[in-house]
Amino acid sequence: MNKKKSQQNNHTKITELNVGERCKVINLETSNETRLQKLLSMGILPGRHIEILQKVPSYILQVGQTQYAIDKEIADAIYIEQEKS
């Protein structure tokens, strides 16, 4: 399957993954301090592993033992490396 990639420093945005896929956070968009603080407060940091549980109507992410609902604008700030199955 050929996916269109949104990239920053060759990293894919989490919004490009499918439900059920796991990934590792590589980088966060830091230009919006409020958005960055929300991500940090959820424990979404470089090096963390995340699973995509849902994409519509909002993104549901499994971070450790906790699930978070975020909108696409916040999800677009997460750059990841897809984990191999």
Q: pLDDT digit string (tens) for 15-61?
A: 999 999 999 999 999 899 999 999 999 999 999 999 999 999 999 99
The token pair that represents 70 in the structure block: 């975020």
For 56, the domain range is 7-82
Residue 9's region, left for phi above 0, alpha for psi from -120 to 50, else beta, is left
CA distance 3 to 69: 24
When pLDDT is cut at 50, 70 and 90, the band that residue 6 belongs to is very low
Q: For residue 47, is it within any domain?
A: yes
Give residue 5's pLDDT.
42
Q: Which residue from 36, 35, 34, 43 is spatially nearest to 61, judged by alpha carbons?
A: 43
In-domain check, residue 11: yes
**Residue at 12: amino acid letter:** T
Instruction: Give pLDDT, residue 83.
Output: 79
pTM tops 0.85 = no
Domain count, the chain: 1
CATH number, domain containing residue 69: 2.30.30.90
74 within some domain: yes
54 is a domain residue: yes
Sheet strand arrangement including 59-63 = 7-8, 11-13, 78-82, 22-28, 49-54, 59-63, 66-70
